[in-house]
Amino acid sequence: MKLTFYGGAGSVTGSNYMLESNGTKILIDCGLFQGESFSELKNYEEFEYDPKSITAVCVTHAHIDHIGRIPQLHKNGFEGRIISTEPTRDFAEALLVDAEHTMREEAAHHHKKPLYDINDVNHVMKLWEGFPYHKHVMVGPFDIELYDAGHVLGSSSIVVTVEGKRIVFSGDLGNTPAPFIHPTEQIPDVDYALIESTYGDRLHERIPERTELLEDAIEETVKAGGTLMIPAFALERTQELLFELNELTQGGRIPPAPIYVDSPLAIKLTAVYQKYSEDPTYFSEEAIVNFRKKGMFNFPGLTMSLTVEQSKAINNVEPPKVVIAGSGMSQGGRILHHEQRYLPDPRSTILFVGYQSYGSLGRKIMEGAKTVRVLGEEVPVRCKVRSISGYSAHADQNQLLQWLEPMREHVKRVFVVQGEGESSIALAQRMIDALAIEAEVPAANSTVVL
């Protein structure tokens, strides 16, 4: 069996791994590389393998840095199976349609042809199959099984059994416990593992701490008469924020102020949550009971701004107010219009609740840039800048080690992926010191024989 790291090695984004056995090739994820732009120019390079030769793509979850190049793969000849959970399939359709629109605009800006078009997205969805956790799916010699990764609704770690060996691809592991989905499943008895390391060198605040920090940010901004801007990923982060804002609002813990979700994509994805809201496969029993009592992500003072007109109307509402909008790293979407308007306002606050990749606009603001370029305009940053890592849907260093601990007696090698250099190296060293596991950080495009 051969394993090649085509993406996700040495970088957080662009997850793309190939397994080969007895002439059959499968991919685990095929994601977009992201950084200073929504779609980095690296995505325009040809695939390092022949897409026609791929029998299947197994998808861990629907974030664009894990699925964003699948339509491009199809455009270059891929006609195989696509395998994931059913919620991941549903999320992927909305996310790929949205990404196609954004990338088409970026391609025009760079005078390039789009990576793919909406017809490629539509065709890909016809190839996409949804499976429950723990159903064994055969692809040639490969036995594929999905485990709950606890990252976002329907996310998976993927265990592949072939040639008498078991290898697990962690995907993105969850920041457990999450408010409403199940915790990350343990997976013992594997021979090899790939583990993400986005937060491999740090620890998060716990849920009570992060809720207090959110409460403080709202109280501080409302008292100052400003606007609280929260760039949030449309999948999971927005829904978690709404879940906790519901608790804070109904508990009388925050002062009254209008709260806007200014993201058509987040609103569409929330409908997928509603579709599965009674399914104990994906939601905790407590969450299902809570949704029945209070409704899902719905409370007084909340406005869902779906249309452009509704989005523009937010500007007519005098602060204080709270605006949650995409994208999570300020690489596009409606958050840019609010940042252009309120970054110069010292009464306002921008609150980051997710990972900001190197080179992204969000990273530049978070690291203290005095001016940034937003929608073609140089904008001074005079507002307060805050961040809460506890809202990340990614596991921190301790949680990553906890996921590995049951494997320690059996696993032969662990490959640390999906992290910036320092983060991956720090996690690998902790694994060696704390668990006595053989760990390495693979180079991009490297191949190992297992």
Q: Are strands 384-387 and 54-58 parallel, antiparallel or unpaired?
A: unpaired
Reference 253, options 295, 298, 213; nearest CA is: 213
Per-residue pLDDT tens digits for 291-313: 887 777 778 899 999 999 999 99
Separation CA 364–CA 437 (nearest Å): 36
Is pLDDT at 286 greater than 70 in this prediction?
yes
Percent over 90 (pLDDT), the chain: 76
On the CB side of 213, CA atoms within 13 Å amount to: 18
Task: Choose the most confident range, by mean pLDDT, from 143-152, 247-256, 347-356.
Answer: 143-152
Q: What is the pLDDT of residues 35-91, one digit of tens each?
A: 766 667 888 899 999 999 999 999 999 999 999 999 999 999 999 999 999 999 999
pTM of the model: 0.89
Q: What is the pLDDT of residue 16?
A: 98
The per-residue pLDDT for 38 is 64
| Nearest CA among 247, 351, 291 for reference residue 153 | 291
Least confident range of 156-160, 215-219, 285-289: 285-289
Which two structure tokens, joined as six digits, stand for 304? Answer: 């869902």
Which residue matches tokens 């109307």? Answer: 313
For residue 8, which of 73, 69, 92, 96 has the smallest C-alpha distance?
Answer: 69
Q: Which domains does the chain have, with CATH numbers?
A: 2-202+393-449 (3.60.15.10), 207-391 (3.40.50.10890)
| Confidence band, pLDDT 50/70/90 cuts, at residue 281 | very high
pLDDT, residue 209, reads: 86
| pLDDT of amino acid 220 | 97
First to last CA, the chain: 5
Considering only CA atoms, which of 447, 448, 449 is closest in space to residue 6?
A: 447
Which runs of E-coded beta strand occur in 149-271?
Answer: 156-162, 165-169, 192-196, 227-231, 259-262
**Mean pLDDT of all residues in 326-333:** 86
Q: pLDDT at position 105, please?
A: 84
d(CA 389, CA 33): 22
More confidently predicted of 368 and 244: 368
CA distance 238 to 207: 15
Tell me, what's the pLDDT at 39?
Answer: 66
The pLDDT tens digits of the residues spanning 101-148 come to: 888 888 887 788 999 999 999 999 999 999 999 999 999 999 999 999
pLDDT in tens, 355-412: 888 889 999 999 999 999 999 999 999 999 999 877 777 899 999 999 999 999 999 9
Sign, CA torsion 407/411/417/421: positive
79, 83, 81, 80: which is closest to 92 by C-alpha? 83
> What are the tokens at 5?
């790291």
Running DSSP on this structure, what letter comes out for residue 46? P
Q: What is the pLDDT of residue 37?
A: 66
Confidence band of 218 (pLDDT split at 50, 70, 90): very high
Averaged confidence pLDDT in the chain? 93
Confidence at residue 35, expressed as pLDDT on a 0 to 100 scale = 73
Q: What is the pLDDT of residue 103?
A: 86
Q: Work out the average pLDDT over 331-352.
A: 95
Q: How do 439-440 and 54-58 pair as beta strands?
A: unpaired
What are the structure tokens assigned to 261, written together?
Answer: 């979700």
Continuous segment of H or E residues that includes residue 399:
helix 397-404
Task: Kindly state the percentage of the chain with pLDDT values over 70.
Answer: 99
The closest alpha carbon to 149, from 88, 89, 82, belongs to: 88
